[in-house]
């Protein structure tokens, strides 16, 4: 299994509608085992990393280190709350 990279914990802040939509779209890809990347995160990449809503993990594939991004448990919990689920 790959190595998980932990980033410093950021203070919790309210998510904007665009961030919620971006996270939900990325979550749909992740649920189908499709990789997510910076291009999937509509300019919110740095903010989402700083808030620990996305994180990176490394793994070794064919003797090369590969970095993949994934939504953290905090992101998944945030976008699956009852009031948030209805935002499209």
Q: What per-residue confidence (pLDDT) applies to 78?
A: 87
Q: What per-residue confidence (pLDDT) applies to 12?
A: 60
Q: What per-residue confidence (pLDDT) applies to 68?
A: 87
Q: What per-residue confidence (pLDDT) applies to 53?
A: 92
Domain containing 53 — which CATH number? Answer: 1.10.10
Is residue 66 a part of any domain in this protein?
yes
- Cβ proximity of 47 and 23 under 8 Å: no
CB atoms within 10 A of CB 5: 10
Is residue 42 a part of any domain in this protein?
yes
Is residue 19 a part of any domain in this protein?
yes
The residue ranges of the chain whose pLDDT is under 70 are: 1-13, 84-88
Q: What per-residue confidence (pLDDT) applies to 5?
A: 57
Domain total of the chain: 1
Q: Which residues contact 18 (CB under 8 A, 6 or more apart)?
A: 42, 44
């Amino acid at each position: 299994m790959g190595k998980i990279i932990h980033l410093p914990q950021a203070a919790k802040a309210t998510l904007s509608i665009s961030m919620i939509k971006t996270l939900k779209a990325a979550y749909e890809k992740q649920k189908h085992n499709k990789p997510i990347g910076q291009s999937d995160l509509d300019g919110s990449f740095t903010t989402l990393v700083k808030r620990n809503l996305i994180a990176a993990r490394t793994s070794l594939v064919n003797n090369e280190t590969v970095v993949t991004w994934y939504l953290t448990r905090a992101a998944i919990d945030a976008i699956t709350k009852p009031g948030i689920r209805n935002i499209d």
